[in-house]
Structures are given as C-alpha cells and as structure tokens.
Amino acid sequence: MRILLFGKNGQVGWELQRSLAPLASPGQLIALGTDSQTMCGNLADPAGIRETVQTVKPDMIVNAAAYTAVDKAEQESQLAQTVNAIAPGVLAEEALRLNAWFIHYSTDYVFDGGGDQFHIESDTPNPRNVYGKTKLAGETNIIDAGCRYVILRTSWVYATYGSNFIKTILRLAQERDQLRIVNDQIGAPTGAELIADVTAHIVQSLRNRGTEISSSGLYHLAAQGHTSWYGFAHYILTQAASANVSLKTTTGRLYPVPSTEYPTPAVRPLNSRLDTTKLQETFNLYLPDWQSGVFRTLSEILANQQSLVR
C-alpha cells in the first residue's frame, strides 16, 4: 500500500508517520510538509498538491494539514479557505480519480457550542468563526467530490511534540504565582497519539474490507469523558506536583473564570462534546478516557524536561 501523508510536521502528522509506517509497503509512506523540497506538500497551493497526488498515485491519502490559527483566521480568511476548504476538495477529487481512500481531520468548531449534550455526526453544524466555517466547507467539498472518504472530527488536540495546552500550562505555572483559566468551555482533551493510532486501525480495517464504500463517512474521534479548560489545567498541575515538579502556581492558586473575561477575535464554542459511538461501533474499537492520554503525554514531557536539565 502506498500512503501519501500531508502535514507531517504538525502534532497529528508527526504521530501519523509512526503509526502508518508499518501499514505502508517498504518505502511507500510519502510524508510531506510545507517545507518539502521534491514535491509540493503545501495546501496553500492547490494546483501543486494536485500535481503531487498525480505523481505519487497513492492508494491512501491522509490529510493532517490545516490552517489552525483560530484567531488569526479572522483576518486571513482567504488563506484559511484555501487550506481548509479548497485544498481538501482537490485531494478528494484526485482520490476519486485514483479510486483511493481519503482520510481527513476536521473539528468540533463546526458546531456553535450550544447545549450541554454530546454532538452526534448528524447534528446540524453552525460554526461561529472563520476557522470553523472553512473546516465545514472542507467537509462539504470532500463529500461532494464523491470519493471514498473518512472524515474524523476531533477536539482539543495535544501531543508530546509541538506547542500545546499542556506545555503552556506547565510553563506558565513555573513563571507565575497564579493562573486564571476558562471553565465554561467543555470538551475532551484528545492526544495526537490516540488520533494517529485510531487512524492506523481505520486504515487497516479499510484495507481488509477491500473496495467497499460502506465505511465511507463522517465520524467523531475524541477521548472519552469531558472537562473544562480549567479542569484540564487542574489535572496537569495535580500530576506535575505529584511528580515533584517545582511550580509557582499550585492548584490552590488556579482560578476558574468565564470566557467573557478573556474575549478573543474568534468566538469559541462552549460545548465541544463529541459522541464517538458511531466510530467505535463501525471500526470495533474502544476509546480511552481523556485522563489516561494526558497522564501518559505529561509524563513523557516531564521526563524530556528532566533529561535536558541533566
């Protein structure tokens, strides 16, 4: 199997290179980023990525690239539209031409965040910011292309690699005497490692099922359970303290605040809960609770920091 991966330098793309390598034929995992020299891996260049797909002729296209600067997208809407909407449509068109599968990642931001229930795949999207609107347009373009596809909506992504909420909280807690964290946005922190492992499981399943298109569709992928950004931060600091990390901000100096205290250019959804029943039943898998993934990633981050100190 020849797999073409876009977005290799992102958090999810980094992990996908590990998880997908055993499924590809020897030397047939082609991983590209915006800095790739021999072929175009930049989704801001739709014509370039079309040429890349036509050159590689993959059996599977996996797109982990996206414009994810949520606030900046309010001013760079055209670039966000090109990367998040137009380019995925181009990849889907090429997947159809090659009869290849296309796996793409979307977001909880396609919903407006109303209510307090878990969103299912058939709920009506209503994005409240440019980022969410462009990601929803990308979903629509993929579906309309008519290829065999799996779109995975996920939420609150973190990883050992790259910048993310865990590393930010650890850094701020070592620099400041107190922290004020939003407590009315609810979702499930979801590790890039989990996303990559589930993707590999899906790829293996699709390969075993041959050319059938019954698994083609939209799915929600997130860790089990839910918390707020405040609850996420509280868990991080609790575990860091248990690991004897020196912190200026302890859990007693961590304060919950409403989103209205931190206005941002892009409105965030308050409810980012995603129901993952469809994914688990279709692909016969079990998703772990959010705490287990955060604990594992946090332990690895702290171990890396300690090794650098030595």
Query: Is residue 238 pLDDT above 80, yes or no?
Result: yes
| Plot region of 245 (φ>0 → left; ψ -120 to 50 → alpha; else → beta) | beta
32-41 pLDDT tens trace: 999 888 899 9
DSSP character string of 287-298: PPBHHHHHHHHH
* Three-class secondary structure of residue 280 per DSSP: helix
Give the residue-averaged pLDDT of 137-150: 97
Query: Is residue 256 pLDDT above 90, yes or no?
Result: yes
> At which residue do the structure tokens 């159809």 appear?
96
Domains of the chain listed by start with CATH number: 3-156+190-225+272-288 (3.40.50.720)
188-226 pLDDT tens trace: 999 999 999 999 999 999 887 665 567 899 999 999 999
pLDDT for 163 equals 85
Give the residue-averaged pLDDT of 92-121: 96
Rounded CA-CA distance 147/159 in Å is 30
> At which residue do the structure tokens 């090659």 appear?
98
> At which residue do the structure tokens 């089990």 appear?
224
How does residue 161 score in pLDDT terms, banded at 50, 70 and 90?
Answer: confident
pLDDT for 15 equals 97
pLDDT for 228 equals 97
pLDDT for 308 equals 42
Closest-CA residue to 159 (of 5, 301, 17): 301
Query: What integer best gives the mean pLDDT of the chain?
Result: 94
Rounded CA-CA distance 302/310 in Å is 13
pLDDT for 198 equals 98
Overall pTM > 0.75: yes
pLDDT for 162 equals 83
Residues with catalytic roles: 131
How does residue 269 score in pLDDT terms, banded at 50, 70 and 90?
Answer: very high
Query: Is residue 166 pLDDT above 50, yes or no?
Result: yes
Tokens of 198: 């589930």
pLDDT for 309 equals 43
pLDDT for 215 equals 81
pLDDT for 310 equals 41
